[in-house]
Structures are given as structure tokens and as C-alpha cells.
Structure 1
Amino acid sequence: MKSTTTWLTLSVIVCCIVTGISYHGGLAYDGATTMGFPFTFYRHSVGRSAATQQMADHITFKWLFMVIDMALVFAAVFYLLRLYKFLRQ
């Protein structure tokens, strides 16, 4: 039970760190705001509409990419903990 709690806690922490590192805070003049590594699961872009000449924004959130990102982090942390236990012996 203790190892499972450690694994889940470390996975959530690493997932937050990786998402924070991959964050790009874009403004209307320098690109979109994006989050996610290796798959971008959140994108918020702002720009001027050619048809109406008004500012418009577009938000995209992909649940599948977020789940894949989290699964990759959980697997990486799991194998790193197993490697650590193996090397410690």
C-alpha cells in the first residue's frame, strides 16, 4: 500500500511539473497558449477574424491527449521506481 501511494503521489507531482514546464503562455501577438508534453492537450488562441474584423478566441481541449500524457508519466515513474529499488539492492 505504501509503495502504491508513493507511486501515485510521485506521478501526480511529475505530471504537474512536466505540464508546467511545457506551458507556453501566448498572447494575441505571439502565438497560442498551450499545455501538454508530448501531446498538446490544451490550446487557446486569439486572433482577428477575417470575416468580421473582430477579435475572436478559440479553445481546444483534448481529453484523450491528456489521458495519454498522464499514462506516460505514470508508466515512467513506475519504471523509475522499480529501477531505483533494483539498484538499491
Structure 2
Amino acid sequence: MTPPVEWHDNEPESPDFLPPKREMSLVEALERLEGVLKAAGIRADIYNHNEGVDIDLTFPDGATFKRSSSIFILDVDGYSR
């Protein structure tokens, strides 16, 4: 598992920062994504197979999304404060 990000909220002259960019392995990237989804209270099962992708999402308010698709694209810009 990747180490946690160190935040410096107590230093007014130094804004929060992320460590320098580096190329992660697929396992590291999935661990980080899983951690973010868990922290947000989102349950996600996404399976890739020969016929396409099965997607099963449950959000904290109980809303759900289920679909089988031949293609799955997720493009997220992110959030910065």
C-alpha cells in the first residue's frame, strides 16, 4: 500500500501539497482509488471481462447504478481547494 500523503495545514506560508508526480503501478493506483471511494462512502464493483464491463455502484444516500456495457469511460478533473 502506498504511504499516506503528508499535509502541512499548520504552516500558513506553505500551502498543502502532494508529493512529486511519479508513475504508479496498477495495484497502487487501484489502492488509492479504493481508499478515496471508501472514504466517500461509495461502494463500487467494476468488472472487466471479454464481453465488456459490469458496473455496480451504491452511493451513501442509497442511490444505485448497475449496468453492463461494452465500454466504460471515466474522466474526472478532480478538486482543489
User: Fold-level match, TM-score > 0.5?
Assistant: no
Structure with the bigger percentage of strand: 2
Larger radius of gyration: 1
Instruction: Compute the TM-score of the two structures, normalised by the length of structure 1.
Output: 0.27
